[in-house]
């Protein structure tokens, strides 16, 4: 039974990550198709991302490694796309993760499942910021992650492009996405949502397990 419970947690985490990535793709499509209408949203995401980086910059002022991390965020990470991915993660966690856990036989109460979900969302952000900031410490591992993320992103675009005959404007949309989107950031955020969901769930199990004397 314990093995099935951990398998259920893996499935729920995978479901959250996959759903959030699909929603991110939908956000990408909408931002291309309705670029003028959604320009204020993209501008807000840009300003928010810049504000986050500036906040970290002030927080780590005087720290060498802190400045290295912040400079990497500023120069190499598209924080606009990171911010745009957050609604997808919130929706997937609340509207997919909680019901899926219940459907698969989870024994937690509704309040407990909600608590896990609410903790998972900021945990995803923290995990992503740490990963984006301190990847210089593990360059080979991070390079492999980027290659995998880019492969997933390109495969997604190729699948969308292949539907060009059935979906009007699909190829034009794909060409715009290839030029204007750092898609691997979407993939990495989705992966972070998977990991954060599983880790938070696991910690919740360990911390609420009855003590045996």
pLDDT(92) > 80: yes
Long-range contacts of 130-138 (CB under 8 A, 24+ apart): 131/188, 131/192, 132/72, 132/73, 132/76, 132/77, 132/82, 132/188, 133/56, 133/69, 133/70, 133/72, 133/73, 134/65, 134/69, 135/72, 136/68, 136/69, 136/72
Average pLDDT over residues 62-67: 75
Question: Does a structural domain hold residue 54?
Answer: yes
pLDDT(211) > 60: no
Between 102 and 176, name the one with better pLDDT. 102
Residue pair 96/19 in contact (Cβ under 8 Å)? The answer is yes
User: Is 146 strand, coil or helix?
Assistant: helix
Phi-psi region at 32: left, alpha or beta (left = phi > 0; alpha = psi -120 to 50): alpha
Report the pLDDT value the prediction gives residue 138, as an integer from 0 to 100: 77
Between 135 and 92, name the one with better pLDDT. 92
CA 75 to chain centre: 20
Report the pLDDT value the prediction gives residue 106, as an integer from 0 to 100: 63
Question: Does a structural domain hold residue 99?
Answer: yes
pLDDT(192) > 80: yes
pLDDT(2) > 80: no
Taking only the tens place, the pLDDT of each residue in 152-181 is: 888 887 877 776 655 555 666 677 666 666
Question: Does a structural domain hold residue 135?
Answer: yes
Question: Does a structural domain hold residue 13?
Answer: yes
Residue pair 1/107 in contact (Cβ under 8 Å)? The answer is no
Question: Does a structural domain hold residue 212?
Answer: no
pLDDT(196) > 80: yes
Question: Does a structural domain hold residue 94?
Answer: yes
Between 144 and 160, name the one with better pLDDT. 144
- Residues in CB range of 161: below 8 A, 6 or more apart: 170, 171, 174
pLDDT(78) > 50: yes
Between 60 and 171, name the one with better pLDDT. 60
Domain with 39, as residue range(s), is 2-203
pLDDT > 70: what percent of the chain?
A: 84
Report the domain count for the chain.
1
Global pTM reads 0.79
- Residue 213 pLDDT class (50, 70, 90 cuts): very low
Question: Does a structural domain hold residue 104?
Answer: yes
- Residue 26 pLDDT class (50, 70, 90 cuts): confident
């Amino acid at each position: 039974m314990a093995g099935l419970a951990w398998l259920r947690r893996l499935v729920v985490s995978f479901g959250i990550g996959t759903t959030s990535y699909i929603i991110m793709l939908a956000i990408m499509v909408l931002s291309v198709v309705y670029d003028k209408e959604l320009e204020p949203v993209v501008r807000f995401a840009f300003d928010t991302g810049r504000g986050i980086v500036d906040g970290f910059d002030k927080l780590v002022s005087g720290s060498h490694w802190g400045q290295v991390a912040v400079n990497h965020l500023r120069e190499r990470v598209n924080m606009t796309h990171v911010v745009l991915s957050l609604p997808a993660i919130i929706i997937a966690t609340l509207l997919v993760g909680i019901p899926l856990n219940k459907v698969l036989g989870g024994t937690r109460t509704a309040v407990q499942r909600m608590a896990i979900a609410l903790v998972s969302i900021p945990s995803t952000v923290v995990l992503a910021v740490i990963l984006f900031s301190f990847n210089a410490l593990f360059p080979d591992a991070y390079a492999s992650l980027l290659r995998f993320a880019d492969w997933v992103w390109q495969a997604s675009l190729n699948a969308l492009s292949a539907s060009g005959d059935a979906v009007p404007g699909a190829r034009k949309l794909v060409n715009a996405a290839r030029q204007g989107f750092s898609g691997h950031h979407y993939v990495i955020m989705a992966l972070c949502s998977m990991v954060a969901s599983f880790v938070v769930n696991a910690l919740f199990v360990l911390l609420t397990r009855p003590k045996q004397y």
